[in-house]
Amino acid sequence: MNRTPLRGFSLIELMIGLALAVILLLLAAPGYALWIADGHIRNATESVASGMRLAWSEAVKRNTPVEFIIDGTTATGGWDVNVPGTGPGTGIFQSGLFAEGAPRAAFGKAPVGATTVTFTGLGTIGVNADASAPLREVVVTESSGLAGSRPLTVLVGGGRSGIKVCDPAVTDTTDGRFCTTL
């Protein structure tokens, strides 16, 4: 009677395979964390830029001032686009929450303390309802300070091309991602 040998893995072979899988996961984890952090930065940046573009387009379409307000300094906040002076929760065209796609994003604003930019019916930057300085720049970073993550900037300048997403790490002035003043 011929016996066929049993096929399979020995315990030693399984342990070696498991050890190799753990080593590969440990090598990939920092890159994955950086990839996730950069994704949160991109999501938050695009959310802010989209909200500002909506405010600009609504102002031009309605030929009336419309404001973009960014709330908070962390991802627990969000933004609103509304008619100036209508009060909280009224006159809102649209809102966005950073917790939906960018929970680890942090925001720096310029000038410091600015939260609002008001667009006129001509698409230019107007006077805010509370007479505060208009928001000109939002820098989006990773809130836990993960080394290697790349911050992005949203610049506001008014006019037809007055809202720009740029990368402060780009130094080539001919590159479209270069941060210039608008």
Q: Which CATH number is 55's domain given?
A: 3.55.40.10
CB 138 within 8 A of CB 108: yes
List strands edge to edge, sheet with 137-142: 105-110, 137-142, 152-156, 163-166
Q: Does residue 3 form part of some domain?
A: no
- pLDDT attached to residue 158: 56
Total H helices, total E strands in the chain:
1, 8
Q: What is the mean pLDDT of residues 44-69?
A: 91
The CB-side HSE value for 39 (13 A sphere, CA atoms) comes to 10
Can you tell me the distance from the alpha carbon of 77 to that of 104, in angstroms, rounded to the nearest whole number?
12
Q: Does residue 29 form part of some domain?
A: yes
The predicted-structure confidence for 120-157, as pLDDT tens digits, reads as follows 988 889 888 888 889 999 999 887 777 788 899 999 98
Q: Does residue 5 form part of some domain?
A: no
Tokens for 73? 């300094």
pTM to 2 decimal places: 0.80
pLDDT band at 176 (very low <50, low <70, confident <90, very high): confident
Longest dimension (CA), the chain: 97
Q: State the residue range of the domain holding 50.
A: 11-166
Total number of domains in the chain? 1
Collapsing DSSP states into helix, strand and coil, what is residue 106? Answer: strand
CB 115 within 8 A of CB 143: no
CB 130: neighbour CB atoms within 10 A?
11
